[in-house]
Copies of this chain bind each other. A is one copy, B any other.
Amino acid sequence: MTENVLSNYVGGQWVESRSSEARQVVNPATAEVLARVPLSADEEVRDAIAAAGAAYPAWRRTPPPVRARCLYKLKDRIARDFEALARLLVREHGKTIAEARGEMQRTLECVEVACGVPSLMMGYNAEDIAPGIDEYALVQPLGAFACIAPFNFPAMVPFWFLPFAVACGDTYVVKPSPETPCSQVKLFELMDEVGFQPGVVNLVHGGAQAAQVLMTSPDVAGVSFVGSSKIARVVYRTCAGTGMRVQAQGAAKNYLLVMPDADLDTAVPNIIGSVYGCTGQRCLAGAVVLACEQTCEGLTQRLLEAANALRVGYGLDEDTDMGPLESQAKMENVLNWIERGITEGARLLLDGRAIKVEGFEDGYFVGPMAFDGVSAEMAIANEEVFGPVMAILRVRDFEEALDIIAANPYGNASSIYTSSGSHAREFRYRVECGNIGINVGVAAPVPYFPFGGMKESFFGDLHGQGQDAIRFFTDRKVVIERWP
């Protein structure tokens, strides 16, 4: 990572891009330029696909336990360079070092789960479907897959897919976000060290055009995407138009319902973590607190106090609770949302717009912000802000809360804070969100489970991570066998 210009990793080699187009990768706390990232030419993307395709036949024939051993090694390398990776994440993205460690931990865990592939990708079989005739489903890989990654979890998101894909015998191309490509480059350095067969894993930098090449290539077996719902829709349609497999995760507007019987001592810090963690830039961030009337005053007070106490600063300071937004454009977008909320009539109880972080005057910082008096019709209650903004929406009761959640087009995550088994059951049963938290504000599935998503938050049928990932990256080939 000492060189300024990031390279692609294709066919087991670091390759300098021939493209003249590039972007700057900027540390959002300092506005310092960390690297230049090329926007690879179409031909370069096709090279990566071709390398993955060429590596497939031999990799597919490599026994699953042997493939898993590459992942064991990768796991060890990630553990070895854990802290360096976390610090790099802070610098390219702005999140706090604690958040970066959390991201790296989850990245590591995805590799751990994929290490279990020999158990996870087993087929199934039946003797005597008719006398003397046996039938079995073989679980086999499919070819070269690709991931189009978002900026917000630059290390982790590709690892919802890549370890599972290569464990299954597929080969892979990652296109990181051009905003935050550095940690993925570092991870590929580790993969290079581990010694995957050349072409099994490939990295190609680029933007929308590179994504387009991946999505329209007849040589790509499938694409995994994480980003906005608008783009997710396009990805879903485009990849399907090419005829490939596709899973596309979109945006979110996550509700946190606080029932009168919630234990506020644990709920309040948990909500604060959900709303302001990663500066609100995660698809599992709590966005709207649905506060039941009986509990509302005390809750609001405590939330504001806790939000107010958050230390905004450079992520590499261990004391920092909240880092900057990832870019100037993202900061401006958040500020626009604040304007819009005010215009809509919400009361801005906590205004972090004017924050200054000493020594980091060029950073894209905003402080924690909170609206009260939000109503269900406001855009601020319905659209993704992707910033540290809490909307408090008072509801009469459980049923009104569920109606509001049901009316929202997104279905990524929702949480309830309660001590009632009954309300917890109804909530998980009825709320159409893929990830449900019960007294848990960030319902992030451990990677032994799929990462859920419904409605406008997910397009496809098989999710990332867990058994879903294994199925997405394999096919079930059915064999009927008779021996005369």
Contacts and interface: CB of A to CB of B under 8 A. Distances in A.
Interface stretch (A39-47, A383-391, A444-452): A444-452
A349 to B, nearest CB: 26
A422 interface: yes
Interface string A171-184: 00000000000000
Interface residues of A, number: 99
Of A120, A124, A136, A421, chain B has the most CB atoms within 10 Å of the CB of: A421
A419 B483 CA distance: 7
B422 A483 contact: yes
Copies of the polypeptide in the assembly: 4
A462 interface: yes
A101 interface: no
A112 interface: yes
B480 A440 contact: yes
A188 interface: no
Given A65-B129, A126-B64, A438 B119 contact: no
A327 interface: no
A394 interface: no
Interface string A64-100: 1100100010011000000000000000000000000
A119 B119 contact: yes
A243 B246 CA distance: 12
Q: Which applies to chain A's interface (DSSP): helix, strand, loop or mixed? A: mixed
A63 interface: yes
Contact of A475 (B121, B236, B434): B434
22 contacts: A64-B126, A64-B128, A65-B109, A72-B75, A76-B76, A122-B126, A124-B124, A125-B125, A129-B446, A135-B449, A138-B428, A263-B484, A265-B484, A425-B483, A435-B480, A440-B482, A443-B480, A450-B478, A452-B475, A452-B476, A461-B472, A461-B475
Interface of A: 61-65, 68, 72, 75-76, 109, 112-113, 115-116, 118-131, 133-140, 222, 233, 236-237, 239-241, 243, 245-246, 263, 265-267, 418-422, 424-426, 428-429, 433-440, 443-446, 448-452, 454, 456, 459-463, 466-468, 471-472, 475-484
Given A439-B483, A462-B471, A468-B476, 6 more contacts: A122-B126, A123-B127, A127-B138, A434-B476, A437-B481, A443-B478
